[in-house]
């Protein structure tokens, strides 16, 4: 039976059978492994045949082929070579004066036989290097329809390859250094400490999954004896607690050439103690240190003063700046309601919990914010303390530097940005941007994290 058998019903039946036939013939290729290019060559022919039959089924077959062989392919060369192959097919069809029955079948058979003859590694030349698609001249009454099917199949194949290559590029861009880590962040989105960790991960282009924790029931972290957030799970096995420990550990891992995350974490032992209220607290006395050797330290910091400055402002963000957030976002009853409306909208609450949190929580936090103001000896107008703190940060950066870290953000930049970011969309944030000199630095930080400028 030729491809263009007379009658739409018969053509449909043939296409249906061909779909399943080609997919079944692609199945064994998946077991061959990435080193067997002969399988990839046959697979390319089968994908081409399937493209002529059904564009959508072609996606499945090509996906199987790419999963097997793209580990050793140079993606840019592969895309260029595929474009050349399709160009040759289209040009040959356009040059053909007429069609004959079975022409397309012959064309596909020759495509399979004269497909890629060379492996295409990331360091080598080539790609899908095509042979000449030798098809007998096409004649007969089905010529126009045959050409249309061929060109449609070619366009379908091109779009599929284009999409797959783009996705592979995206996956490569999100790979973490040193082989990558599977990171899962348990958080409250509006928590400044969680925001610090997200700022670090985003800036360095580290892929991570987020588990939003219900702040009322906290069922998502019931498995953990540590009941605070953020919690970062590494490869579903290793638990990292405390935002500064998480950041210091991961930064050490990114810079260090030899240490594993497990080895690094051992350098940050827990120190349990009883505070003035009689409550047990857990601290990490060296959490602002990076566990690097002398050469690695010199590579990261221009001098010892820059290292000390980074540690000083990281601690300042945790011990002072973060305590200015609540008194400012809950300063008035109206601001408290607006803040809890934002928290409920961005957080994980049931309908009842959201209603309860918005009104009862807003009233409670309005009262608590007054206590916090007294505890931290803040002025009656807590905005002034916020303005003073932010301007002192900008003054420490100076006019000659873009960031505290110079031309690129350091860990202090990321910590301060992460804390301030939780106020976005609230009145306190707008007032801060209008009445301080932080706007330029903040927008630079926003772009740096959004574009993953620290990936390399």
Active-site positions read 188, 191, 193-194
3 state DSSP class of 134: coil
Q: Judging by beta carbons within 10 Å of its beta carbon (0-12, 13-18, 19+), is residue 216 exposed, middle or buried?
A: middle
CA distance 345 to 340: 8
Q: Please, how many CA atoms are within 13 Å of residue 166, restricted to the half-sphere of its CB? A: 6
CB 154 within 8 A of CB 167: no
What DSSP letter does each residue of 22-48 carry, written as one string? Answer: HHHHHHHHHTT-TT-HHHHHHHHHHHH
CB 52 within 8 A of CB 45: no
CB 138 within 8 A of CB 88: no
Q: Helices marked H in 116-142 — which ranges? A: none
Sign of the torsion angle spanned by Cα atoms 191, 192, 194, 195: positive
Q: What are the backbone angles phi and psi of residue 187, rounded to the nearest 5°?
A: -150, 165
Inter-residue long-range contacts of 354-363, CB under 8 Å, 24+ positions, other chains counted: 357/215, 357/216, 362/330, 362/333, 362/336, 362/337, 363/333, 363/336
CA distance 162 to 398: 47
Q: Scan for tokens 């329809």, then name that residue.
A: 145
Give the contacts of 109 (CB within 8 A, at least 6 positions apart): none
- Of the candidates 446, 450, 456, the one whose C-alpha atom is nearest the C-alpha of residue 413 is 446
Q: What is the largest CA-CA distance in the chain?
A: 95
DSSP assignment letter at 175: P
From the CB of residue 148, how many other CB atoms can be counted at a distance below 10 Å?
A: 11
Q: What are the backbone angles phi and psi of residue 200, rounded to the nearest 5°?
A: -65, -50
Sign of the torsion angle spanned by Cα atoms 420, 425, 428, 431: positive
């Amino acid at each position: 039976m030729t491809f263009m058998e007379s009658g739409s019903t018969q053509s449909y039946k043939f296409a249906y059978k061909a779909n399943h036939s080609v997919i079944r013939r692609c199945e064994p290729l998946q077991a061959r492994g990435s080193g067997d290019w002969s399988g990839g060559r046959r697979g390319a022919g089968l994908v081409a045949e399937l493209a002529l039959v059904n564009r959508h089924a072609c996606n499945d077959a090509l996906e199987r082929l790419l999963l097997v062989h793209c580990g050793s392919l140079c993606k840019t060369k592969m895309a260029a070579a595929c474009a050349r192959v399709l160009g040759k097919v289209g040009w040959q069809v356009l040059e053909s004066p007429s069609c004959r029955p079975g022409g397309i079948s012959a064309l596909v058979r020759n495509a399979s036989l004269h497909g890629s003859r060379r492996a295409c590694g990331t360091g080598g030349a080539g790609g899908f290097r095509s042979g000449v698609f030798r098809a007998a001249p096409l004649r007969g009454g089905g010529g126009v329809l045959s050409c249309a099917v061929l060109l449609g199949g070619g366009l379908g194949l091109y779009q599929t390859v284009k999409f797959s290559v783009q996705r592979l590029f995206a996956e490569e861009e999100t790979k973490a250094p040193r082989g990558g880590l599977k990171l899962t962040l348990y958080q409250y989105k509006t928590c400044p400490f969680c925001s610090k960790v997200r700022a670090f991960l985003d800036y360095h282009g580290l892929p991570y999954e987020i588990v939003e924790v219900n702040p009322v029931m906290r069922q998502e972290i019931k498995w953990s004896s540590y009941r605070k957030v953020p919690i970062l799970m590494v490869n579903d096995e290793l638990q990292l607690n405390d935002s500064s420990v998480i950041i210091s550990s991961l930064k050490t891992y990114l810079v260090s050439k030899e240490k594993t995350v497990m080895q690094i974490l051992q350098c940050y032992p827990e120190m349990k103690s009883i505070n003035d209220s009689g409550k047990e607290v857990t601290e990490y006395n060296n959490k602002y240190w990076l566990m690097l050797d002398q050469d690695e330290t010199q590579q990261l910091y221009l001098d010892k003063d820059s290292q000390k400055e980074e540690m000083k402002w990281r601690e300042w963000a945790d011990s002072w700046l973060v305590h200015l957030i609540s008194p400012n976002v809950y300063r008035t009853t109206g601001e408290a309601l607006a803040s809890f409306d934002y928290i409920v909208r961005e957080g994980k609450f049931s309908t009842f919990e959201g209603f309860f949190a918005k009104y009862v929580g807003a009233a409670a936090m309005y009262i608590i914010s007054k206590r916090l103001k007294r505890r931290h000896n803040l002025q009656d107008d807590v905005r002034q303390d916020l303005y003073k703190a932010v301007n002192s940060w900008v003054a420490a950066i100076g006019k000659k530097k873009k960031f505290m870290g110079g031309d690129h953000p350091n860990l202090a930049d990321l910590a301060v940005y992460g804390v301030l970011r939780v106020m976005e969309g609230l009145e306190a944030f707008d007032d801060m941007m209008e009445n301080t000199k932080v706007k330029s630095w903040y927008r630079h930080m926003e772009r740096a994290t959004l574009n993953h400028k620290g990936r390399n």
